[in-house]
Structure 1
Amino acid sequence: MALNKLTAKYICKKILEDKRLDNRKKDEYRAIEIEKNPIQNALGSCRLKIGNTEVICGIKGDLGIPYPDSPDEGVIVTSVEYMPLAAKEIEAGRPDETMVELSRVVDRGIRESHCIDLKKLCLEKNEEIWRISIDCYIINHNGGLIDACTLACVLALHFAKMPKKDEKEKDKPFPITDFPITITARKYKTKIILDTTKDEETCFNCRLTTTFTKDGNICAMQKGEYGGFSVEELNKILDLSSKKEKEIRKIASKF
């Protein structure tokens, strides 16, 4: 349901008091649940929940022709879509700007981390490659979509096997070389919060998503919405995000 103005005002007031309706700390994530390979027909898949936000990602591979400027590399294509009942405000038709941005941020984090060895997706230079589709679907939207979708996609890749031209071929692990994790921080006046719920997101006017490689290096960033950050705020966000990335990575590494 749409949040009424009185409830939104109350949530914003609590944030300024360093309080959250679910009693979490400002940098505390909701519980993360991971299900490995729930989709039998996918090369790899992951169903993931962060609190009440739920997404599912599947990996598939199709034969294709390489691009002229990368004749010995495979291709990856990432897409993120809402399931029809993921949120009340979802309408059928072309994706809106928010969904386009979400897909691009998830794709950029995967691409810029170089977490897939694209050369191992080449079957014959200039002739034949594997085209890998990373398809993520939002089952329930309760905030924190960028972080949830990215983690689900990367875990699905981590769980995946290489596609095969011949079913008699032995299973081979997918050529994963890194494990990017995104951390999204939002700002309301002077307050910085991680892992916002959908209701909390109505208060915030500025967002920064940072993608980290397994070595803790930043490989991608995305500033969203209309507000801005001071240098001091940026440093604070990067410090919080760097610490939180390590925590999320420990959870993911158990799978």
Structure 2
Amino acid sequence: MVNKMNIVPEITRKSITHLINNQERVDGRALDEYREISLETGVISKAEGSARVKIGNTQIMVGTKPQIGEPFPDTPDVGVLMTNSELLPMASPSFEPGPPDERSVELSRVADRCIRESEMVDLKELCIIPGKKVWMVFIDLHILDYDGNLMDAAVLGAVAALKNTMIPEVKVVDNEIIIDHENMKPLPIREEVVMCTFAKIGEQLVIDPSLDEEEILSARLSIGITASDKICAMQKGGDSPLTKEEIMNAVKITEGKSKELMKYLE
């Protein structure tokens, strides 16, 4: 079933594509330029960690919730990270109340995979009693305003919230866990990770696509990269293929642009 909200007039499609093919964009940015970015941490008083990120008019609130639980059977000595996203109807007319749709599921999985595969958090340090008790950290993404490029905003906000998260000291005495809420410590962070998303429109790749650009893209590529330039995640979207040259060009741009995004996490 066609979503009427996503039908783009042909004149608009041709106009945006023509501009991009001529190295221009509707909002005046260069093809490899991000919109204005802002990032705040500690914005939710009741959360152990939180952040609010804005990329252009896209805005996401992130909260983290650590709690003690059981590890997965195949990783008995490793803590747990779990990411969920909520596309609030007030953020966009295309978001509907109800169970998570495919966009919400994809956003959660991509952000989760990027953070997990980067090994940003030392999950072994979150083990309390091997095979029995570990720290579980839940990351909740709340989309407040949607104007394109949720992937990059979600990862940037989630990383900032994790860096802002505090957990209490715990001791194990005779197999009993004693939680010391008076002494809090940050999560064991190894290095930051960010994500850069590209849209193929016409014959060009543009970074940080706005909503208008997302609606006419033929392919999308999101690349997760660590502070040490390790590619840890990739997600392809859209119907059209990308050439090897286009992918390598996106990776090269990501290596440079990631340094700009990392500065917001300092």
Range class of TM-score, shorter chain = over 0.9
Q: Distance in 2 between matches of 1:119 and 1:2?
A: 44
Q: How far 1:163 moved relative to its partner?
A: 4.3
Which residue of structure 1 aligns with residue 197 of structure 2?
A: 184
Q: Conserved in 1, the CA contact under 8 Å of 2:168 and 2:179?
A: no
Q: Partner residue of 1:77?
A: 82
- The AA in structure 1 aligned to 2:148 is G
2:41 is the counterpart of 1:28: no
What is the rounded CA distance, in whole Å, between the counterparts of 2:238 and 2:114 in structure 1? 19
Task: Give yes or no for contact 2:88–2:97 (8 Å, CA) kept in 1.
Answer: no
State the partner residue of 1:57.
62
Question: Would you say the 8 A contact 2:8–2:215 is kept in 1?
Answer: no
Residue 18 of structure 1, CA deviation: 1.5
2:228 corresponds to which of 208, 212, 215? 215
1:15-36 C-alpha deviation (Å, 9 max, x unpaired): 2222111100000001111111
Which of the pair is proportionally richer in strand? 2
Q: Is the alpha carbon distance of 1:204 and 1:222 closer, same or farther for their aligned partners in structure 2, counting shifts above 3 Å?
A: same
Partner of 1:238: 251
Cα distance in 2 for partners of 1:189, 1:3 equals 18
**Following TM superposition, by how much is the alpha carbon of 1:95 offset from its aligned partner in structure 2, in angstroms?**
2.0
> Counterpart of 1:172?
185
- Specify the code of the residue in structure 1 equivalent to 2:131: N
- State the SS of the aligned residue for 1:219: strand
Q: Specify whether residues 188 and 63 from structure 1 end up closer, same or farther in structure 2 by C-alpha distance, changes over 3 A only.
A: same
Structure 1 residue 114 and structure 2 residue 127: aligned?
Answer: no
- Structure 1 SS opposite 2:183: coil
2:261 to 223, 237, 248: 248
Aligned to 1:86: 91
Q: Residue 195 and residue 218 in structure 1: after superposition, are their counterparts in 2 closer, same or farther (change >3 A)? A: same
Structure 1's consecutive aligned runs of 4 or more residues displaced over 4 angstroms after TM superposition are: 1-4
Q: After TM superposition, give the deviation of residue 176 of structure 1 in Å.
A: 1.0
User: Is it true that 1:44 corresponds to 2:49 in the alignment?
Assistant: yes
Cα distance in 2 between the residues matched to 1:154 and 1:163 = 20
Distance (Å, rounded) in 2 between the aligned partners of 1:70 and 1:2? 42
Alpha-carbon contact 1:43-1:163 (below 8 Å) kept: no
Contact map agreement 1:161 1:171 (CA 8 A) in 2 = yes
Give 1:205's match in structure 2, choosing from 218, 227, 242.
Answer: 218
TM-score normalised to structure 1 length:
0.94
Of residues 127, 132, 136, the one that matches 1:131 is: 136
Q: Does the CA contact (< 8 Å) of 1:61 and 1:163 recur in 2?
A: no
> Conserved in 2, the CA contact under 8 Å of 1:3 and 1:199?
no
In the alignment, the residues of structure 2 paired with residue 100 and residue 168 of structure 1 have an alpha-carbon distance, to the nearest angstrom, of 34
> Using a 3 Å threshold, how does the CA distance of structure 1 residues 62 and 206 change in structure 2: closer, same or farther?
same
For structure 2, which runs of at least 5 residues remain unmatched after alignment?
170-177
On the 8 A contact 2:80/2:123 being kept in 1, the answer is: yes
Distance 1:211 1:171 in 2: 30
Contact 2:168 2:182 in 1 (8 A): no
AA of the residue aligned to 1:218: I
Shift of 1:94: 2.3
Q: Cα 1:4–1:226, aligned 2, differ >3 Å: closer, same or farther?
A: closer
Count of residues in Structure 1 that have an aligned counterpart in Structure 2: 253
Structure 1 Cα separation of the partners of residues 179 and 41 of structure 2: 25
1:213 is displaced (CA, Å) by 1.1
**For 1:108 and 1:4, how far apart are their aligned partners in 2?**
32
What TM-score do the two structures reach when normalised by structure 2?
0.90
Partner Cα separation in structure 2 for residue 248 and residue 182 of structure 1: 9
* Structure 2 counterpart of 1:56, one-letter code: M
1:7 paired residue number: 12
Q: Cα deviation per residue 1:76-111 (whole Å; 9 max; x = unaligned)? A: 101111122010111122222222111111010001
- 3-state SS, counterpart of residue 172 of structure 1: strand
Distance 2:154 2:90 in 1: 17
Pairwise CA RMSD of aligned residues?
1.6
